[in-house]
Amino acid sequence: MVKIIKALVKKISKGRVSLVNVTEDQLKKRAEIKEIEEILLNSENQIECPLIHHFAHESYGRELHIPKGTLLVGAINRYATLNVLAKGDISVFTEDGLKRVKAPYVVVSKAGTKRAGYAHEDCVWVTAHATTETDTDQLLKDITVEDYSGMDFLTQKHFDEIEKIKAKEAGLCQQ
């Protein structure tokens, strides 16, 4: 484990890793969201939410239209993402808990965010991404990950271990 953490510390110092500190409670909520997703994927009552793609200079916007009464689960964001609820009223469940929001609403979600939502009204949810890519299939691969193994994130246990390594290397603690 120490080798893995040292490798991550090296990547961090070079700016190649966006880390998210994850608590045990947040890990439990992630599992709950995954369970909701599994139920939805096995449901016969799936619906398509219309998605409109927008492109501008080195940027990409995803405009998702969510019908009233829809329960949905999104992908895992690879990076921090700008989110705008342009229309509607929706309850959103993330690893940070449940929150009901009404348009207009703007939030930046951290890297590694996956959310479940329930639309109380018809909603329009927009995300904005910095990119020069215009192929929507490639974009989805670039801005999301399949599962958390595709993310570099640390739990508090890892952060504690990093502090021990730093202290040891600084000669502040005994072996």
As a whole number of angstroms, the distance between CA 50 and CA 64 comes to 6
Taking 90 as the threshold, does the pLDDT of residue 1 lie above it?
no
* pLDDT at position 6 over 70: no
Average pLDDT over residues 1-10: 54
Q: What is the pLDDT of residues 15-55, one digit of tens each?
A: 444 445 678 888 899 999 999 999 999 999 899 999 999 99
Q: In the chain, count of helices (H) and strands (E)?
A: 4, 13
pLDDT confidence tier of residue 13, bands split at 50, 70 and 90: very low
Least confident interval from 1-10, 58-67, 115-124? 1-10
DSSP three-state, residue 38? helix
162: enclosing H helix or E strand: helix 156-169
Q: How confident is the model over 92-141, as pLDDT tens digits?
A: 999 999 999 999 999 999 888 999 999 999 999 999 999 999 999 999 99
User: Average pLDDT of 3-24?
Assistant: 54
What's the CA gap between 149 and 82, in Å, rounded?
Answer: 23
Question: So what's the pLDDT on residue 79?
Answer: 87
**Which domains are present in the chain?**
21-156 (2.60.120.10)
- What's the token pair of residue 32? 């709950």
Residue 149 has pLDDT above 90, yes or no: no
pTM of the complete model: 0.74
What is the pLDDT, as a whole number, of residue 12?
47
Which of 30-44, 74-88, 113-127, 153-167 shows the lowest per-residue confidence on average (mean pLDDT)?
Answer: 153-167
- Tell me the torsion sign for CA atoms 82, 121, 74, 56: negative
